[in-house]
């Protein structure tokens, strides 16, 4: 736990799990990556809001496998809760990620099986002439050879062990990618849902304004027929009605596309999916999310963990390629029966057995082993660069959302003042227009200004929800907030 007053001093504690895991691998032929190539982990995020409570950072376990929980419950929206459950049950991206994890675990079992003794049974039956009988013509004989065969590669220099270690790390990386995919899908569902809510609120504003324009147009047309109003004012109103109706239709089209996109995220057909407009003002505010420490975020994010394990797996495969220069020792044993008479094939006198040991080492392979080692080294360098890029991306995403939320809050405060002023200006303009003190054009300008301010306020509110969800995803999912912060947020 630290406070927002912590100095931004580069530290490398976030890389300790990676270094420890590589040291514990226990094989000198798997070189550890150069940690100096990794970026320094800052002590705190630079964009932490100044209003954050002093000394109250989020407390998170430094592990990507920590339970995230239903982080979306902080929005207190039962519709969102239902959408999340449906997405986790039927989303196709989650199903693909789960299948890849199954593949990786099967690869681990296959690699482990190569380190165990291999036992097989065989049965050979042959019929042919016996050229050693010393008679002409050679007699025809039947030969049966049932046997059991046992083979075991001793793995003197850890080649199979490194292969098994790489497969285990691949499985762990696939599991972390499944968690990352699950978090991505959850965030996409939440963002799609809040985009729908924003569209509904904006559509409601435009429709209400359109109804007001139509009422004014009907009144103006009656005044035109009575000769109390000029045609120019009526044409201006008709233009405003048509323009506002076009805006409403564009919002309807946008809302339909958003609803169809949400259906795909849920793994459902867009033709049979519909999400009703709540038909009420959207007054909710996003919750305050504690940023926590950069080192804890890096340890918790599943995509960073997946990149780390992919790097460790690549280092292990480099060790496998390097161990190809060393000899292999294999032990073999076989036992069974061999007889030219099928009736005597299982007699004790027909038994046959053998024991053997094979020490092999290639002498000249045309540079194949060297090429394999260089290729494995290149893959390890790619994995190191990918890990470094993932870390930098994780830190950038958190900083983006923290700075964005701070600026959005300031923008929302300013727009709140603009909305209040625009509403007051519209009310005053309406009174002055009815008293004949201003023209209809002035009244339309006031109404347009009010609608523009209201729509901007709704858009900023939607952007706050989008950024809050993005920040939760950037932080690695759910979090644990101190009681004082949680009560203050409520």
Buried/exposed code over 353-378 (b: 16+ C-beta within 10 A; e: otherwise)? eeeeeeeeeeeeeeeeeeebbeebbe
Residue 129: partners with Cβ closer than 8 Å, 6 or more residues away: 137, 138, 139, 140, 141
Specify the pLDDT at position 207: 92
- Residue 457 phi, psi (nearest 5): -65, -40
Lowest mean pLDDT, pick from 10-19, 171-180, 207-216, 477-486: 10-19
Residue 471: partners with Cβ closer than 8 Å, 6 or more residues away: 289, 291, 398, 401, 402, 405
pLDDT band at 170 (very low <50, low <70, confident <90, very high): confident
Residue 457: partners with Cβ closer than 8 Å, 6 or more residues away: 412, 415, 416, 418, 419
Helix (H) or strand (E) holding 240: helix 231-265
Distance CA 244, CA 236 (A): 12
pLDDT band at 476 (very low <50, low <70, confident <90, very high): confident
pLDDT in tens, 110-156: 888 888 888 888 777 777 777 776 677 777 777 777 778 887 777 77
Q: Do residues 399 and 46 make contact, with C-beta atoms less than 8 angstroms apart?
A: yes
Q: Does the global pTM surpass 0.85?
A: no
Q: Which residue has the higher pLDDT, 290 or 393?
A: 393
Distance CA 6, CA 48 (A): 11
Compute CA distances 360 → 88, 149, 442, whole Å.
52, 20, 95
Instruction: Give residue limits of the domains in the chain.
Output: 13-129+138-489
What is the edge-to-edge ordering of all strands in the sheet holding 351-360? 118-129, 140-153, 328-337, 351-360
Q: Do residues 419 and 457 make contact, with C-beta atoms less than 8 angstroms apart?
A: yes
Q: Do residues 126 and 141 make contact, with C-beta atoms less than 8 angstroms apart?
A: no
Residue 180: both structure tokens together: 């990352």
DSSP, res 40 = P
Average pLDDT for 298-322: 86
CATH class name, domain 13-129+138-489? mainly alpha
Say if residue 52's pLDDT is above 60.
Answer: no
Compute CA distances 485 → 56, 300, 481, whole Å.
7, 21, 6
Map residue 358 onto helix, strand or coil: strand
Specify the pLDDT at position 184: 92
């Amino acid at each position: 736990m630290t406070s927002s007053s912590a100095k931004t001093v580069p530290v490398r504690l976030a890389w300790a799990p990676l270094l420890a895991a590589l040291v514990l691998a226990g094989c000198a032929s798997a070189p550890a990556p150069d940690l100096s190539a990794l970026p320094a982990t800052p002590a705190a995020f630079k964009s932490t809001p100044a209003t954050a409570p002093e000394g109250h950072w989020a407390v998170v376990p430094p592990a990507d496998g920590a339970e995230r929980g239903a982080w979306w419950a902080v929005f207190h929206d039962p519709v969102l809760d239902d959408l999340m459950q449906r997405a986790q049950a039927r989303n196709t991206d989650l199903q693909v990620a789960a299948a890849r994890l199954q593949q990786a675990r099967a690869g681990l079992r296959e690699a482990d099986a190569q380190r165990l003794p291999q036992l097989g049974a065989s049965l050979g039956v042959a019929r042919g002439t016996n050229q050693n009988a010393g008679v002409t013509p050679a007699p025809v004989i039947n030969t049966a050879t049932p046997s059991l065969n046992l083979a075991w590669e001793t793995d003197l220099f850890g080649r199979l062990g490194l292969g098994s270690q790489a497969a285990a790390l691949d499985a762990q990386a696939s599991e972390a990618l499944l968690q990352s995919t699950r978090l991505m899908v959850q965030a996409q569902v939440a963002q799609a849902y809040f985009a729908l809510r924003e569209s509904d609120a904006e559509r409601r504003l435009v429709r209400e304004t359109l109804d007001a324009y139509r009422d004014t147009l009907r009144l103006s047309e009656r005044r035109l027929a009575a000769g109390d109003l000029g045609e120019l004012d009526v044409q201006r109103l008709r233009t405003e009605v048509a323009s506002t109706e076009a805006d409403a239709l564009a919002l309807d089209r946008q809302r339909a596309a958003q609803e169809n996109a949400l259906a795909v995220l849920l793994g459902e057909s867009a033709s049979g999916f519909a999400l009703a407009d709540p038909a009420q003002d959207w007054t909710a505010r996003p919750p305050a999310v504690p940023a926590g420490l950069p080192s804890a975020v890096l340890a918790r994010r599943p995509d960073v963990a997946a990149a780390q394990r992919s790097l460790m797996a690549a280092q292990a495969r480099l060790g496998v390629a390097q161990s190809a220069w060393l000899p292999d020792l294999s032990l073999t044993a076989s036992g069974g029966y061999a007889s030219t008479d099928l009736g005597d094939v299982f007699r004790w006198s027909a038994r046959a057995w053998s024991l053997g040991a094979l020490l092999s080492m290639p002498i000249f392979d045309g540079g194949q082993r060297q090429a394999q080692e260089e290729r494995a080294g290149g893959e390890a360098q790619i994995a190191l660069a990918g890990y470094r890029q993932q870390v930098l991306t994780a830190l950038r995403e958190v900083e983006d959302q923290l700075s964005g939320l701070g600026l959005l809050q300031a923008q929302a405060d300013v727009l709140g003042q603009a909305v209040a002023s625009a509403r007051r200006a519209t009310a005053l303009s309406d009174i002055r227009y009815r008293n004949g003190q201003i023209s209809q054009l002035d009244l339309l300008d006031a109404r347009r200004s009010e609608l523009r301010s209201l729509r901007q306020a709704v858009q900023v509110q939607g952007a706050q929800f989008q950024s809050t969800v993005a920040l939760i995803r950037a932080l690695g999912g759910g979090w644990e907030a101190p009681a004082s912060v949680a009560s203050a947020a409520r």
